[in-house]
Structure 1
Amino acid sequence: MIRALLILALTAVSALAQGYTRSNEQPPLFPREFRAAWVACVYNIDWPSRPGLSASAQQAELLRILNEAQALNLNAIIFQVRPNADALYKSSIEPWSHWLSGTMGRSPGYDPLAYCIQQAHARGIEVHAWFNPFRALPNKDIPTARNHVMRTNKGDIRPYKQYRWLDPASSFTRNRALSVILDVVKRYDIDGIHIDDYFYPYPTVVNGRPNPEFPDGKTPAQRRAYVDSFVQSMYSSVKQTKPWVRVGISPFGIWRPGHPAGIEAGIDAYEHLAGDSRKWLQKGWCDYLSPQLYWRISPRKQSYTALLAWWRSQGSRPVWPGIATARINSSEDPGRKAAEIVNQVNYSRTIGKNWVGHVHWSMKSLMQNRGGISKDLKKSAYLAPALVPPMPWLSKSTPSLPSISATLQGNTTLVRWQPVRDASKYAVQARYGKDWHSISVTYASGINLKGSPDAIAVSSVDRFGNTSQPFVISKSRRR
């Protein structure tokens, strides 16, 4: 009993002796990099593993994904919420996705997007809601709900191969896609919205021409004008609703064959998909572009590094390439090793002059640690957390400083601060001895640190990614 009381007394004395006071010390800048992965729901590629799982089983699978993203020090997931004119969230516009329950229109018993946002933010991870704007069905044989566009707007649907496509030339198509995007922006605390490369469906190309032609009687130039109009309207509408919500687009990785010189492609995305993605980057109709650079660093004809250098020279907004982590040890690309992906991550940090970042296709390959990739990334490329880069073209204001305090309890330091009104999250650093460490990005108003750091710094981060100066406290010893 006496020994226990003595230990308690010594602990209390230690806490007093190692109290913290405000310091003028300046820690190094917190790392900045967009580190994301796509989480695809179509065909149950990433999540859920199969349709018809219970709500608790789906949630458990999603938590495993988010826990691994946190362990990897990723700071965003791109979560598919509209695979084919359906919804993975509670919508009054479109039916529940059959990839959830197995039956289109049947509720999974909870709201997956709301749950994803809650759990991702609890782990310091952003959620970018991913929409397919024009795909009605990936397979014509999928049974549809009564309120699906296949039943309500048959005149706006075009058959193409196995697909059913919402015709981008139709004002209904463009307005419907925009309405569902804005509905999510308004009702959910998302950090970004994201559309992919399915503007018009991928054709088979024979002698340079698509076969078959998309059945709309329009020229490639007319189709580009419809898609351009949608992209421009989408960007301006999102910014009018919530200006801090990032708008991302992930087009086919080659704008046109021959750009840059020596680049080859069977698909001309500009002509065949109506995707003038270079224009969108140059016009500032997105906050980041993630061209799908799924090829190796060599040979030159589809070189990852040559393409990334070209893309990053086309505009002032960030280009955060899509990287095909899923092709490690795959039949699609035999012999691809994890080292190729690690090298591509490292090159994404050195090419060009804009804010750096990249996106993994897809989360499943990271969950599987395919070819040892997750282990390698943790060991070499993702050693510390990173903040998502800011958007200075939208805002350069800085949030207020947090006022922090720290208390030592046993072998843990409890760091707390009052929430800052104009901040959404906080970047935490700590110095042990001479070395500063980037510890965490958190949406919470406190964190527990191991041991007793010699100094602690916390910066506020607003919704645009701007940071305050750090509020720093350092250890002071009583005489």
Structure 2
Amino acid sequence: MRVRTTFYSWMMAAVGVVWLVQPACGQREGAGVPRSAPAGSAVAEVPEPAREFRGAWVATVANIDWPSEPGLPAASQRAEADAIVRGARERGLNALVLQVRPACDALYRSSIEPWSEFLTGESGKAPDDGYDPLEYWIALCRANGLQLHAWVNPFRARHFQSKKPDAPSHISKARPDLVKTYGEFLWLDPGEKDAQDHAVRVILDIVRRYDIDGVHIDDYFYPYPKAGVAFPDDDSYRRYRLGGGELARGDWRRSNIDGFVERLYRETKAAKPHVKVGVSPFGIWRPDHPAGVKGMDAYEQIFADAKLWLERGWMDYCAPQLYWRVDAPQQPFGPLLDWWVSRNLKGRHVWPGLYASRVLPNEKQRWEPAEVVRQIEERRKRAGSTGEIHFSIKALVGREGGGMGGALSTGPYAGFALPPATPWLRAPALPRVEVEPGRTSRAVLTPAPGAEGQRLVVSSRVGGEWSHRVVWTREAAVVIDAAAGASEVAVRAFGRTGELGPAARAGLGGAR
């Protein structure tokens, strides 16, 4: 059955018709049959777009990035989101990592947890016109050719910058036995099975209901330690020992987080195999790994054994937070990145987190944009790392970024890049693609079975140069817009795990 919906306004200038046809029975996943060139003709290959993950975190906790303040009218929230996504595209990014659950709350419609105070100014209060922010961000990113990853904090239950009481449905009120006070925070106790069950249930609810590209957790597992203050998990540890457990408390805490990370990966793949799972750990696993590195011991102090998770392949990408200068004497960027790459035994992606916000004027040890560009250049020297994620988007698209966004868009991100493929994941079958030449406003789409939408890479040839862009659509009728002055257009299906189908081509004066 064909389904017709409204065209995106930016797809309306027609220069070619694209037909996406369901693959024939028995054809392998990802196969497509392009229109063949006439016999005896010499047709140059359509170049493959570059591959590089160019992401940025969009932090909602404490209104770091979005919305700019709690309780803004929904229309203002959407306008700010529009500006962020448009700015991200203009600066050459191809992915955003949006924080949707900062503290056991929701910046999306949820029947499990209350609306976030950072969104509406009051825990449990819905946006004033009933819109779903996550749905809106997904649609925005699709329209601008970007991936959208949903960022979740699994165990933090209240941030110290929250101002108002939590709603009655908040986990701290509904299950206070699972929540501990630690300093100025509330925290789910990872040693409580019900706490882990709750976190996994929330994340899988997002994965199942939303058409996201990835789910993402950062470095907050057990809280960062407060001097002289122990995390109050005596009760859960005592029950563990009474039940026959023999691990020392530190090992037990690590086993809690290890089990959570493995379970999250396994159950996400059972729910939607193509959704990527990303983890962004603290940038130092343990001091002296590699030799000479100094800093916090994440293994001992927040009980995060990210080395194990990467070695076991319990993630699709690892984004260690390498928030130091290239030449930092105790945390050198290159050797740290090399160490993480060396632990990537399963061939996952390694995309370091870069502290782009150090360019902001309120930073005590402010960087110039050239430092971040230098880090990208250093990362590109290593075949084992194919992208980065910037913290945070404010530094790239905000007015206070000191030229950071421009340094990217005119420098390392000047050319187009697709996110790297994740070929170890199972994805929906690609459609076949055919292109009709000539100027027309009509196209036909028959999606592959079970597809939530189709992505295309549209390539245009102007003279001897090719340019590329991503188009996403649910349309039965699709209009493809080639670059101005193009003599030829090529279209490829772009799968959910990043695989590209063969190019179907049309000369704008005749078929190719």
Q: TM-score, normalised by structure 2?
A: 0.83
Change over 3 Å in CA distance of 1:420–1:382 after alignment to 2: farther
Whether 1:216 aligns to 2:238 is: no
Whether 1:197 aligns to 2:230 is: no
2:131 pairs with one of 98, 110, 131? 110
Of residues 193-202 and 131-140 in structure 1, the stretch that sits farther from structure 2 once superposed is 131-140
1:418 pairs with one of 445, 465, 485? 445
* C-alpha deviation, 1:293, in angstroms: 0.7
Q: Secondary structure at the match of 2:432?
A: coil
Deviations 1:204-240 (A, max 9, x none): 4xxxxx5212121352111100001111000000000
Matching residue of 1:9: none
Tell me if the contact between 2:179 and 2:188 (Cα under 8 Å) persists in the aligned partners. yes
* C-alpha deviation, 1:299, in angstroms: 2.3
Structure 1 runs not aligned, ≥5 long: 1-14, 205-209
Tell me if the contact between 1:397 and 1:466 (Cα under 8 Å) persists in the aligned partners. no
Whether 1:101 aligns to 2:120 is: yes
* C-alpha deviation, 1:405, in angstroms: 2.5
* C-alpha deviation, 1:268, in angstroms: 0.9
Deviations 1:318-376 (A, max 9, x none): 1101111000155545241100111112222221335x111010011112251211111
Deviations 1:160-215 (A, max 9, x none): 110111000001110000000011111111111001111011114xxxxx521212
Q: Secondary structure at the match of 1:450?
A: coil
Of residues 31-40 and 395-404 in structure 1, the stretch that sits farther from structure 2 once superposed is 395-404
Task: Map 1:65-104 onto structure 2 (within 5 A).
Answer: 65-104=84-123
Tell me if the contact between 1:117 and 1:189 (Cα under 8 Å) persists in the aligned partners. yes
Q: Secondary structure at the match of 1:80?
A: strand
Tell me if the contact between 1:127 and 1:190 (Cα under 8 Å) persists in the aligned partners. yes
Whether 1:440 aligns to 2:443 is: no
Matched to 1:436, the amino acid is W
Deviations 1:92-113 (A, max 9, x none): 1110101111110000121101
What is the alpha-carbon distance in structure 2 between the residues aligned to residue 340 and residue 79 of structure 1?
25
2:482 pairs with one of 441, 449, 452? 449
Tell me if the contact between 2:438 and 2:510 (Cα under 8 Å) persists in the aligned partners. no
What is the alpha-carbon distance in structure 1 between the residues aligned to residue 431 and residue 377 of structure 2?
34
Matched to 1:258, the amino acid is D
Structure 2 runs not aligned, ≥5 long: 1-14, 17-34, 38-42, 238-248
What is the alpha-carbon distance in structure 2 between the residues aligned to residue 396 and residue 60 of structure 1?
33
Matching residue of 2:240: none
Tell me if the contact between 1:38 and 1:363 (Cα under 8 Å) persists in the aligned partners. yes
Matching residue of 2:44: 25
Matching residue of 1:287: 316
What is the alpha-carbon distance in structure 1 between the residues aligned to residue 66 and residue 163 of structure 2?
22
Percent of aligned pairs with the same residue? 40
Deviations 1:242-287 (A, max 9, x none): 000000011111111111111110x211111111011111101000
Q: Secondary structure at the match of 1:457?
A: strand
Q: Secondary structure at the match of 2:409?
A: helix
Task: Map 1:14-413 onto structure 2 (within 5 A).
Answer: 23=37, 24-108=43-127, 109-139=130-160, 142-204=164-226, 211-217=228-234, 219-265=249-295, 267-315=296-344, 316-330=347-361, 332=363, 334-353=365-384, 356-368=386-398, 370-395=401-426, 399-408=430-439
Q: Secondary structure at the match of 2:402?
A: helix
Matched to 1:95, the amino acid is P
Deviations 1:63-119 (A, max 9, x none): 111111111221111111111011111111110101111110000121101111112
Tell me if the contact between 2:458 and 2:482 (Cα under 8 Å) persists in the aligned partners. no
What is the alpha-carbon distance in structure 2 between the residues aligned to residue 226 and residue 450 of structure 1?
53
Q: CA RMSD in A?
A: 2.2
Of residues 331-340 and 167-176 in structure 1, the stretch that sits farther from structure 2 once superposed is 331-340
1:460 pairs with one of 468, 493, 504? 493
Tell me if the contact between 1:192 and 1:248 (Cα under 8 Å) persists in the aligned partners. yes
Tell me if the contact between 1:51 and 1:100 (Cα under 8 Å) persists in the aligned partners. yes
Matched to 1:272, the amino acid is Q
What is the alpha-carbon distance in structure 2 between the residues aligned to residue 406 and residue 419 of structure 1?
19
Change over 3 Å in CA distance of 1:278–1:424 after alignment to 2: farther
